[in-house]
A and B are shown apart, each in its own frame.
Chain A
Amino acid sequence: MTTGWLLLMAGAALGLSLVAGARWARAWLALTVTGAAAGLGAALSVLLGGGDWEWRNDFPPGGEPLHLRLDGLSAVFLALVAIVGAAGAGYAREYWSERRYPASAPRGRIWWSVLLLSMGLVLTASNGLHFLMAWEIFALAGYFLITLDNQRSGVRTAGWLYLAASHAGTMVLFAFFAALAARTGGWDLGPVRDQANLAPLFWLALFGFGVKAGFFPLHIWLPSAHANAPSHVSAIMSGVAIKLGVYGILRFSGWLPVPAAAGWVVTGLGAASALLGITFALAQNDFKRLLAYCSVENIGIILIGTGAALLAVTHGGALWGRLALAGALLHVWNHGAFKSLLFFGAGSVLHATGTREMSRLGGLWRAMPWTAGLFAFGSIAVAGLPPLNGFVSEWLVYLGLFDAVTGKGASAWAAAVIPAAILLAAAGAMAVAAFVKAGAMIFLGAPRTPSAEHAHECGPRMLGPMLALAGVCVAIGLAPVLFWPAVTRAVTAWRPAWAAADTTAPLAALGAVQVTLALLFVAAVVILNYTISADQRRRGPTWDCGHALPTARMQYTSASFAAIPAGWFHWILLPERKTRKPRGLFPADSLRLERVPETVLERVIGPLGAAIMLASATVLRLQHGRLQFYILYVLAGLVALGFLVLLGGAP
């Protein structure tokens, strides 16, 4: 009962914030945070023991009676929406303030509320038609938020690409829901695990939701959209919106039967996304694109866990399937938290310096110590390093994979899990590399250009949400036991048959060890600092091997840092290079530009599109503008019909 009231309050608050967003920014913030808190409360009430919530009403929007449902699985995602939604709303107050963006700030506020409302509707809709309606509104809200700064052509292009890709996915989702309605006899959604003819529909759902989730190779819209959007929008898109794609895949693989090959395919896609995503991230010079590709990697990790769970369903391994899926769901939360934190930090840098190019930054730690510290914190979390939360969810996924391989004797199917584990490890190491690069290029060393020299720290209204998200990371990292019941509820909601399986992951031990490690680290830092007493500490310029006039441009650049792995993967990165060497005896102007394109978009879909346009242009010759020929075409068609009738085609 409370769940229903809390959801109603959330909906009402967000609805009011829609109205308030046009003029009253403070009221909007208050209403949005209230709505988000109510949503979080509703999610927690389901996750921490209350039963599933369901509500039906005969009022038919679009011809179908209302049917809303909040169970463990949707509650997990609802909690994430609430937290990141509230944090982003707070962040946007200063980042996209009325003063700097008078025209687009009200629009941004209104569409933010629409986005949160539509995401809540997607999560609670239990009728196919309403799901689609909410999904479409959610996609449109994303488009309008991405293109808030529509004066720049890069932003507009990114928005179009997002919209096109989103609608390609929605088209497939239309097919999925229509086929589902046709085969089950109605638009109402619910568990129908016994109808075997529904299994092939999983592929449609995988494609349709996969475009939104952004795994390789359906991620083509992700980098440009998340890089060009305002940073708080990138945060909620990367942290929450793509998780709704994961929600769709999980929801319908839970309610419908899945084909036997599903586990393999999803695990394979996850492993490929993980490795290729982080490779592309490492090769980027734009830090927001780097973060966007890193989201592709993390979706890959989530899919590895999901795929392992699907394999467990097919091959009867409830224990390790639970572990893998629990790891995936916890990673949904973790990634939402630390990716949003990283995007907020990136937004802070962008706000201060005005550029996204890492090779123009450097040495920002001095002017922006809080942002630097929080970005380093987020880097440790995203690389999955102890004692933070990224490690906990990857650890759970690894445990699931290891148990799959070692349990019940070696079966052929388990051999598919081994490459996933190896690729996960390699992706983890590359994530370390990518975030050392990102953190070092932006914050460490000396400023490479004047825009980096004149940076300033962001205000407390931008730091506050970042600190809150960092707190979430620390909480999940140091006390994962507290979050285990919620995650287990979601796993049970996905597959009720697994409810009886007992947990075999010693989260309490891990949590204790992480706390100990954290204390150990703090102690080590304090001791080392104390040992170097103040008068023994001298400052001097960095040794430069005898250069007479070293410049800040002589530091290692972001492309150089990534050169070795980028070289290994050049067959898929396909970088474009432009070099202009200096001529003559004395130092002169020279140029070296390197750009890593989005390979699937620019090297596969682009040429395919060009070929289609070429074929269309050839057909275009039929359209020459001469009216007589057009009427001749019509007549020819009629005559052909007449012949058909004459030759006995008529009944």
Chain B
Amino acid sequence: MIPISDFILRLGWWLLLAPLLPGIINKVKAWVAGRRGPPVLQLYHDLAKLWRKGVVLSTLASPGFVIAPAVAWAALAGAALLTPLGPLGGCLSFRGDVLLLIYLLALARFCTAWAAMETGSAFEGMGAAREVSYAVLTEAAIIAAVLSLSVQTSSVTLVTMLSPSAGAGAALLAAGLFTVLLAENCRVPFDDPNTHLELTMIHEAMILDHSGPPLAAILHGASLKLLLFSVLLVQAVLPMGQLSPPAAAGALAAGVLIVTVGVGLVESLLARLAFRRVPLLLTTAFLLCVFALLVAWKEGAK
């Protein structure tokens, strides 16, 4: 365990930095489209505004409608605290914490889907159904990625797992994890965060009826999840352990920035996939992670 001050700093870092990423992505998209776009700090303003607002609840919604976003946000915050930050390590580290992280993300998904079904609206039912269905494939891909990291490093602890060796395995893993990042965070080509057409929504459909502070919790949680996946992706692919701590921190920051810009570019240059093609792309991500696992396996056998 680490001292309280370190814990608070770490928590602050995660919570305060997370809303920056959607802003960067929007700026990149605007730049590609030749616009000026919203300010990078726009999400901060939105969250502050939402926090001050009142709430409109559906007559059909149970107390779970407010409980679920809270639990989802707390789960994502817990997952974020478990994620190691390069040389700084994680807030807490024990054998098997990677599985706790994965299942905390699953808990967040459960809660968001539950809250979506609360209002009895068919839009949200559609979004929730899609979200939990595609999650089956992304979970398989994530476990395959974790297995490949685990085989490479012979450990099940996040801190020691995220020090990979470069090579074909890292490239495959990067591609696979990037696709999983896009899927889990509801980015193009899986889901368009700007759309509100029921035929095309997944995540947006699930949060359609939220307002005020619960919506702020959900939006912040989504940005936390994006930051978490970016940090994991960078650490899984770049050999951080071989750099000195300041260099590693700088590499981590640069890596996260690159990933965010990359997401923005992908969002600008690709169109959303038709829904029947989404499982195909997810399976491709899964297979990329499996191939990374095979490469790691072969290297371990040598």
Binding site for B on A (CB under 8 A): 362-363, 365-366, 369, 372, 376, 379-380, 383-386, 391, 394-395, 398-399, 402-403, 405-407, 409-410, 415, 418, 421-422, 424-426, 428-430, 432-433, 435-436, 439-440, 443-446, 504-506, 509-510, 513, 516-517, 520-521, 523-525, 527-529, 531-532, 536-545, 552, 554-556, 560-565, 568
Contacts and interface: CB of A to CB of B under 8 A. Distances in A.
A125 to B, nearest CB: 38
Contact of A521 (B70, B198, B208): B70
B136 A429 contact: yes
Closest 9 CB pairs of A and B: A556-B125, A445-B120, A536-B54, A440-B117, A564-B133, A425-B143, A433-B132, A509-B94, A429-B139
A538 B56 CA distance: 5
Interface in B262-301: 279, 290, 293, 297-298, 300-301
B109 A432 contact: yes
A445 B136 contact: no
A542 B110 contact: no
A542 B120 contact: yes
B110 A445 contact: no
Given A405-B151, A445-B60, 18 more contacts: A365-B62, A365-B64, A399-B95, A422-B290, A424-B143, A426-B137, A429-B106, A429-B135, A433-B135, A440-B117, A444-B117, A445-B118, A504-B95, A505-B96, A509-B94, A539-B59, A556-B129, A564-B134
Contact of B121 (A363, A421, A432, A544): A544
Given A410-B297, A528-B217, A531-B51, A428 B96 contact: no
B25 interface: no
A444 B120 contact: yes
Contacts of B96: 395, 398-399, 402, 505-506, 510
22 contacts: A362-B120, A380-B110, A402-B156, A405-B150, A422-B144, A425-B143, A426-B139, A428-B103, A429-B135, A429-B136, A429-B138, A432-B113, A444-B60, A444-B62, A509-B94, A532-B66, A538-B56, A538-B57, A540-B57, A555-B121, A556-B122, A562-B129
Contact of B54 (A403, A446, A521, A532): A532
B293 A418 contact: yes
B10 interface: no
Q: Which of A418, A541, A542, A543 has the most CB of B within 10 A?
A: A542
A376 B114 contact: yes
Interface in B62-77: 62, 64, 66-67, 69-71, 73-75, 77
Contacts of B54: 532, 536-538
B154 A528 contact: no
Q: Which of B53, B132, B134 has the most CB of A within 10 A?
A: B132
Given A362-B120, A410-B297, A506-B94, A542 B135 contact: no
B139 A428 contact: yes
A582 to B, nearest CB: 19
Contacts of A528: 66, 69-70, 213-214, 217
Contacts of A543: 121, 208-209
A363 B59 CA distance: 11
Contact of B300 (A372, A395, A409, A425): A409
B163 to A, nearest CB: 14
A404 B113 CA distance: 34
Contact of A556 (B69, B95, B126): B126
B133 A521 contact: no
Contacts of A372: 62
Contact of B129 (A391, A398, A504, A561): A561
B100 interface: yes
Contacts of A536: 53-55, 212
Contacts of A562: 129
Contacts of A439: 114, 117
Interface string B203-227: 0000011001110010000000000
B95 A380 contact: no
Given A380-B110, A556-B125, A540 B58 contact: yes
Nearest to B133: A564
Interface in B86-130: 92, 94-97, 99-100, 102-104, 106-107, 109-110, 113-114, 117-126, 128-130
Contact of B123 (A362, A383, A545): A545
A422 B139 CA distance: 8
A432 B106 CA distance: 8
B135 to A, nearest CB: 5
Given A432-B106, A505-B96, A564-B130, A406 B135 contact: no
Contacts of B201: none
A435 B154 CA distance: 34
Contact of A422 (B125, B143, B298): B143
Nearest to B121: A542
B117 A445 contact: yes
B155 interface: yes
A539 B57 contact: yes
Nearest to A554: B122
Contacts of A436: 110, 113-114, 117, 128, 132
Contacts of B71: 521, 524-525
Contacts of B142: 425
A384 B100 contact: no
A516 B113 CA distance: 24
A386 B113 CA distance: 16
Nearest to B93: A509
Contacts of A421: 143, 147
A398 B212 contact: no
A366 B62 contact: yes
B105 to A, nearest CB: 10
B263 to A, nearest CB: 23
B78 interface: yes
B30 interface: no
B119 A445 contact: yes
A415 B297 contact: yes
B40 interface: no
Contacts of A565: 133, 136
A513 B114 contact: no
A545 B109 CA distance: 25
Given A520-B77, A521-B71, A529-B66, A538 B55 contact: yes
Nearest to B77: A520
Nearest to A383: B110
B117 A385 contact: no
Contacts of B138: 429
Nearest to B95: A506
A537 B125 CA distance: 24
B140 interface: yes
A406 B132 contact: no
A568 B279 contact: yes
A544 B123 CA distance: 9
